[in-house]
Amino acid sequence: MKKFDIIIIGGGHNGLVAASYLSKKNKKVLVIEKNENVGGLAEYANNLNCISPIITKELNINAANTNNTNHIISLEDHQNHTVLEDNNGKLSFIKTNADEHDQKNFLSIINNYKIFSKTLGSFMFKKPPRVKSGNKADILQLISMGWKVRKLGKKNMRELLRVIGLNIADDLEDNLSNNNLMGLLSHEAVLGTNLGPRSPGSILTLLYKQAINNNVFNFKNIEVADYINQLEESCNKNSVEIIKSTEVKKILTQDNSVTGVQLNNEEIFESTCVISNSDPKTTYLNLLGAEILDTDFIRRTKNFRSKGNVAKLELVFENDININGVANNMYGKFIYAPNIKYIEHAFNANKYNKYSENPCLEFYVNKNILSANVYYVPYLANSNHQENEIIKKCISILSKFITDMKISKEKLITPNAMEVKYNVAGGHWHHGDLEIDQLLMMRPFYGSAQYSTPINGLYLCSAGTHPGGGLTGINGINAAKKVIGDLK
């Protein structure tokens, strides 16, 4: 039986980050990945908007932006698209049908949110404190968090506390009149969440993303696949053993402590430390087993909300793609979420586990390939998706903007398919909703925060932990640091 200092279940980007970091600390690390390639859900990501500079520095990853200018193109049915340019974080309008007053207000809303997201940003990269631990480090961290909010000044602090529970639609309607601009910001607030523009907390999700990404529209022109390759190379260089196409069936324990893992082929690897890159629900209910956890903990696990609702659409065209009304040399992302009402209608269907007649799209174009996030396409617990119907709806929307569409290949990956391939409960972008009761020291839930679990030697490092999903790597590095701290 082979023995390792640390076994990591899953070679998603967070698993790889944790593995590379731990092996650099002279630990013998094994990563076991179910699929033939590592990277996990990163397969569906188009951009690395939120890769943490801590990761690039500590693991020596080259994430230099090859293109400092990005475009954000918010599509409008009458071809009056809004085109914004993001030049190293500085946002300006290239083209829009919004009047000057709205343009000014749009930029000032983003700047005002930036003040709050900067404060939140200082909480994002660290392990969140335990509220009642009495531990000196936790108390100091809590005081520091409180001080950072207080430092905003009376007016801004009050405003932060006011907007944090509000819905984005109300704030935008108070300050803007242009539908396209309101649709664009609402889209940024709700993509990947289980919220609509009128759901309370949808400003918080925007602030949260802005805090992690360092900007609302910040995204880097780097191949996601290149980032994953660099992470894998970093693991290989540091002698991490990676076994692919192999699934862990069970986390083994004795007397409430981890002893190793058992694979689907019954093989056993021993270790007194296991880190799960699988989501919290799957880790506790499937890999560990409810029988060794107490009833209240199981209730909290089951109540963790993780219904995914974003599908991935991939279309290959016979010719290079040109979007009407947009210069074809623009690198950027296209958004079809034309107004608040449209997004809210799409969200209404999602509430009842149906997909909307009119989904929202966020897409990227590379020559003749179009890759889109389609929302809301809810995870279906008891039925199958009609993939062809959804593809037809998307093509019908796209045909408003792309003339002469000759498609040679089409593929839709639903949250159900993502669940099957990557064992992610609900096929959720963040492994669990980003809402106020599932954030920071409450993520994923009470009794399992700060990357630890009720089982000695078992840790979590996936997007289901603080600070949530996206290709930050923060979950992986924080979990690894927690392990090193505990081993000491």
Ligand X SMILES: Cc1cc2nc3c(=O)[nH]c(=O)nc-3n(C[C@H](O)[C@H](O)[C@H](O)COP(=O)(O)OP(=O)(O)OC[C@H]3O[C@@H](n4cnc5c(N)ncnc54)[C@H](O)[C@@H]3O)c2cc1C
Which residues make up the interface to ligand X (CB under 6 A)? 9-15, 32-35, 40-42, 44-47, 49-50, 247-248, 277-278, 287, 310, 312, 373, 418, 422-424, 429-430, 462-463, 469-471, 475
- Cβ of residue 313: shortest distance to ligand X, in angstroms? 9
Structure tokens at 85: 């340019």
Nearer to ligand X, 222 or 248 (CB): 248
Residue 151's contacts (CB-CB under 8 Å, 6 or more residues apart) are 119
Residue 73's contacts (CB-CB under 8 Å, 6 or more residues apart) are 81, 82, 83, 84, 323, 326, 330, 332, 333, 334, 335
Nearer to ligand X, 83 or 461 (CB): 461
User: DSSP state, 288?
Assistant: I
- Cβ of residue 97: shortest distance to ligand X, in angstroms? 28
Q: Which of 481, 471, 488 is nearest to 219 (CA)?
A: 471
Nearer to ligand X, 193 or 238 (CB): 193
Nearer to ligand X, 227 or 342 (CB): 227
Query: Is the C-alpha dihedral spanning 155, 158, 163, 166 positive or negative?
Result: negative
Nearer to ligand X, 14 or 178 (CB): 14
8 A C-beta contact, residue 172 and residue 134: no
First to last CA, the chain: 26
Nearer to ligand X, 49 or 119 (CB): 49
3-state secondary structure labels for all residues of 391-425 = HHHHHHHHCCCCCCCCEEEEEEECHHHHHHHHCCH
- Cβ of residue 34: shortest distance to ligand X, in angstroms? 4
Nearer to ligand X, 46 or 456 (CB): 46
- Cβ of residue 277: shortest distance to ligand X, in angstroms? 4
- Cα–Cα distances in angstroms (integers) from residue 185 to residues 97, 105, 173, in the given order: 16, 12, 11
Task: Give dist(CA 347, CA 376) in Å, integer.
Answer: 6
SS3 state at 451: coil
- Cβ of residue 431: shortest distance to ligand X, in angstroms? 6
Nearer to ligand X, 160 or 224 (CB): 224
Chain-centre distance for alpha carbon 77? 29
- Cβ of residue 173: shortest distance to ligand X, in angstroms? 28
Task: Give dist(CA 36, CA 304) in Å, integer.
Answer: 29
8 A C-beta contact, residue 209 and residue 441: no
Closest CB to ligand X belongs to which residue? 12
Q: Which of 214, 195, 215, 213 is nearest to 205 (CA)?
A: 195
- Cβ of residue 83: shortest distance to ligand X, in angstroms? 20
8 A C-beta contact, residue 75 and residue 81: yes
- Cβ of residue 284: shortest distance to ligand X, in angstroms? 13
Nearer to ligand X, 178 or 309 (CB): 309
- Cβ of residue 102: shortest distance to ligand X, in angstroms? 28
| Backbone Cα Rg of the chain | 22
Nearer to ligand X, 312 or 466 (CB): 312
- Cα–Cα distances in angstroms (integers) from residue 280 to residues 92, 103, 165, 398, in the given order: 41, 42, 26, 37
8 A C-beta contact, residue 146 and residue 119: no
Amino acid at 55: I
- Cβ of residue 378: shortest distance to ligand X, in angstroms? 13
Nearer to ligand X, 42 or 483 (CB): 42
- Cβ of residue 415: shortest distance to ligand X, in angstroms? 7
8 A C-beta contact, residue 185 and residue 206: yes
